[in-house]
Structures are given as C-alpha cells and as structure tokens.
Structure 1
C-alpha cells in the first residue's frame, strides 16, 4: 500500500512538472523572438515566477513580462552599482541579515525610522531592496523595524507606490513574507493608503507583528530561530550594522551581477569621469518572422 501511494505521489509530481513546462513553452512562444539581455532574463525560473504571479494565465503572464522587459530596457537596473547609491545606506536603513529564516531564505532588515533622504529614486531603492538571491533560492523574507519611525522619516505615498510597482510587477514572487514589527499608530493611515496599490496576493504576505501579542510571538518563532533573531524583533541576538561590511557584500553582489550579464567580459570606458562597463544597447524584442 505504501509503495502504491509513493508511486501515485511521484506520478502526480511528474504530471505537475510536465504541465508547468507546457505553460513555460507557451509563454516563450507568445513572447516571440528575444535576444540579448531580454533572452537571458527570461530563463525558466523567471517564466515560472511570472506565471505564478498571474495564476498560470499565459496571456496575462506574457503581458506582464513584456512590461517588465520594457521597464528593464529603460532603467537598466542590472547596471546600477553599489558605489552609486552607497551614501543612502550609511544609516543602516536597509541591510542583509547574517541569518536566514527557517526555510533557508535570505532575510532583509529594513529600518524606515533611519530614512534621511526625502527624495529616493524608486530604481535606486530597488537596487538596495532586491539583492541577488543565492542559486536555487527564489524568495526572501523581510523584517521591518519601526523604531524611530515618524511622519518626518517616512517616504511619501507616491514613492511607496512607485517602489511597490517595481517590486510587485517587475520582481514577482520574490517576496516570501514581510514582517512589520510593532508599527506605531501613525503608520496605520499610511498603510491604508499604500495597501490600495498591493494586489491581494502580495497583501496576504504582509504580517503585522506585536511583541505583546501571543499569536505574533508564535508567528516569529515559526519562521525564525529566536537565538539568531535580533532583539529588535523579539529575539536574543544583537543587531549591529557595519556599513563597511555591508558595502563589501554589496560590492561582491555587483561582481556577481556583472558576471551574470557578461559585463565583466566587456572593455571599460570612461563615462562622466568614471570607469564603467561598456554595454551594448538592448535590442528591442520583435516577433519572429513567419515563413
């Protein structure tokens, strides 16, 4: 009986994998001919994320991908380098944790109370918030500490909307869960305005956590090892931000990004007084001609 159940389970997994492959093939066919960075971006894992974000609807997934490809052609997020935005990270408002959640996912720590700039470019924000994930890891968890948060340190609703648009529409299914730890009452009005821009699926990933609430405490224990979790989030560890160390990690991230996109193999040129990778223009996706 156990053998039959196991065989049935394996058969179901095979069917699911085959069905997923059919969806990916359909999206590729719908997109038409791709080249350059667009082709490299649309790998199997990418197609799966867009399909999942649109409930496996091929036409909607194709439209979403086309919009992302146009956005990437315009803003070229893969060309942003840490030294260009490092000054915004000096306060430690965004950093990569030295621990993972219980499912092995990377963790980003955000401290909006340390926001000092009132004019943050959404694309710059994207560079800091969406790190290259380790191979085989598709999602990340966010821990958001509201210590020091006030209306003076908060970003505008417009900026928040633009950031949400980038993360939600151009980096689908990258966020596993976002834990908003002990947000003050003044955040509620901001949240009501921002929540309007979240799709239902993303909204469900946002968890409000309060240290005196038993369910909140259990939720944190479910997803994090309390011994590794900083005390700011109800854990036992000490959170220390080392800007030099974080900059080193981000510089390593830049090297990985350059290697992935092939920038490390291109000659350097002087751009605005600085050395930069010489990058060929991104070809515009066109439909393959029909014979």
Structure 2
C-alpha cells in the first residue's frame, strides 16, 4: 500500500519523495546540557539577540539590518550546533555564526530558485528520498548521472538540495545522510569531480553546516575513487572523515522499505521523472517553510526558538506560547505572514491580499 512512509508492495514505481520516516525510525534523545553549557548557551543567545546588522565583508552592498528570516534561522539548536563545533567557545561560535550569516547573504542561498537549478536536476543526479533508522533524510548522489560541466551552478545546486533536506527533517532531527553511488554510466565514465571543487564544497560544509552531516554511505567505490577520496580527505576534519563508510551494508542503516532498490539493497521501487519529482519536492518544502515561519511569528519571533516547535513536534514555544490552530495547521493569515517573511509570496497569498483590499 502506498503511503508517506513507503511504497512497499506497489508495482508502479514511486516518483515523489517520501514525506516521513517509518514509525519506528527515531533520533537519539538529545543529551541534557550541563550547568556550564547552559550558561554558555544563554550568553551566546543574548549576544545573537542583540545583533542589529549583518556585515558582509566580501560584498559590502549586501550588508544591512538582520532580517526576520535570519533571526528565525538562529534557533536554539542552531546556536548549540555552533557551540559544540567550537568546543563551547562563545567567541569562536560568534565568529562562525556571523560568518555563516554573511556567507548565506553573499552566496544568495535563499534566492536560489527551482527554475534556475532545474537544468542541473533533470537527470536526477541528486535525489532526496527516504529516511534512515534515526529519522535522518537521505540524499542519493549519482555522479554517473552528471549532465553538466563543473560550474558555480553545480555547487549552488548541491547546497540548495542540502537546504531542502533540512526542510524535510522531522521534529528532533538535525542531521542528514548522503548516499553516493559511484557507478559510471554510458554517458559518464569518470565519476570524480575536480579536487578544487571538492575542496570548496568540503570547506563550505564544515564551516557553515556544523553537525549537519550525519553519515556518508558510498557504494561502487572503485580504486580511482578511493584514491580521489584519499586526496580530499586531507581537507576533512577528523570528525567528518569518520562519517564516511565504504561499501557498507546500507540496509543496517536505512529501513529496506525506504531504501532505493536501484543498486542499493532496498525494496523501494522509485523512478526519477523530473517533471513529477522536482515540482512536488519544491512544493512540499515550501509548505514546510511556510508553516515554520508562521509558527515562529505566532510565538513572538524570537532568536533561540526551538526547532522542535517550528517543525510541529511540540506546541509550546520557548516563549511559553501555545500553538493551537485547528489541528495545528497555520491559518491563511499566518501562512501569508510567513510567506511575506520568507520573501516567497505566491499567487495564493497575492490573491488573498487583493480580496482583503476589496472587502
């Protein structure tokens, strides 16, 4: 029977992303902070709450007041990820968070559109599909499906998809899983990427996505790929390096009903069809961002909000606000406000605004 969890037993291949992990796939409980860690978090929270502007040293024209979208990004869990990544150094965490905020502006991360990146996605070389046994979203990378030459847009495509994986994270989940199949194709025998590009990607991941990478599972890793990975491993920190697993039993990590059957030992019958998958994924992710933004605004729009609350896993904000709106679905007004905050006002919202004007 087809569901949001799997398509086990279906003869027709699934063509859209799974929307949730299996019911028994859950993240480990978050460890409780020590008194010292809680004190450092509160100090960092106070610091981040006071930031009036974002300074972009590499593109001064993009410097300016901090936006609601950026304040919403500064969740409790976000601040804690940077604290852990800097071994609980408040000063280092401040520097890295501010550097990430500047990079996101300079890179135009929130301005990337599905239409602009669609040519990169046409062959399904990157697919967000299913969740592992800890509820972490899985992204399949298939270098053999590469359809474009190395370019800045290729890297933009990768980080756009990482952001969509974050959209797809269920409550309580903070990291993701990359599933890389190095099998060559008739169209693409060389499944490596330039070392310079790999180095840039690793640098950006380690600098601006601390503790987001949960695991990297790789199959069909022939000796050329192993040599390539050995070269780029010198650019990885030890923690990142330990997350790479070669030709491991992926079924130990991902429920077989959510594990793709294409080269992987799973039972999920999936077929990539760009005109179906791409709009459906972006629609789902946009709706999740709308809901998160609406919940953030409803609770007062504070820095340090809980990601559990924003994702709908809890109805009580860190401010004590109780979110309860008809099965916890944001109203049209709340969605409109959320879209406005995100800068993603669609036709529906514009129509609602026109209706309000003429009422």
2:144–2:183 CA contact under 8 A, matched in 1: yes
Residue 265 (structure 1) shift: 2.1
Do the aligned residues in 2 keep the contact of 1:94 with 1:109 (CA within 8 Å)?
yes
Which 10-residue stretch deviates more, 75-84 or 246-255?
246-255
Instruction: Name 2:183's counterpart in structure 1.
Output: 147
Q: Return the offset for 1:268.
A: 8.3
When residues 83 and 256 of structure 1 are mapped into structure 2, their CA distance, relative to the original with a 3 A threshold, is farther
Q: Which residue of 1 aligns with 2:265?
A: 234
Q: Are residues 29 and 249 of structure 1, via their aligned partners in 2, closer, same or farther at CA, if it must alter by over 3 Å? A: same
Distance of 1:236 and 1:147 partners within structure 2: 19
Map 1:201-220 → 2, pairs under 5 A: 201-209=239-247, 216-217=248-249, 220=250
Query: CA 1:153 to 1:267, structure 2 compared with 1: closer, same or farther past 3 Å?
Result: closer
Counterpart residue number, 2:80: 48
Calculate the aligned-residue CA RMSD, in Å.
2.8
Q: Secondary structure at the match of 1:163?
A: helix
Question: Is the deviation greater in 45-54 or in 119-128?
Answer: 119-128
How many residue pairs are counted as aligned between the two chains?
Answer: 249
Which secondary structure state, in structure 1, belongs to the residue aligned with residue 256 of structure 2? coil
Name the structure where strand makes up a greater proportion of residues.
1
- Structure 1: any 5+ residue segments left out of the alignment? 1-12, 210-215, 270-274, 278-291
- How far 1:260 moved relative to its partner? 5.1
* 1:200-246 deviation per Cα after TM superposition (whole angstroms, max 9, x unaligned): 1111111111xxxxxx33xx333122344233122344342232332
Q: Deviations over 1:123-177 (max 9, x none)?
A: 3320023322334321111111111176644321111222222222111111111
Normalising by structure 2, we get a TM-score of: 0.62
Match of 2:206 among 158, 163, 168: 168
Residue in 1 aligned with 2:38? 21
Aligned to 2:63: none
Contact 2:256 2:267 in 1 (8 A): yes
TM-score (norm 1): 0.75
Q: 2:51 aligned with 1:33, yes or no?
A: yes
**Whole-Å Cα distance in 2 between the matches of residues 257 and 166 of structure 1?**
23
Select the residue among 69, 80, 88 that pairs with 2:112. 80
Q: What does 1:56-71 correspond to in 2, within 5 Å?
A: 56-71=88-103
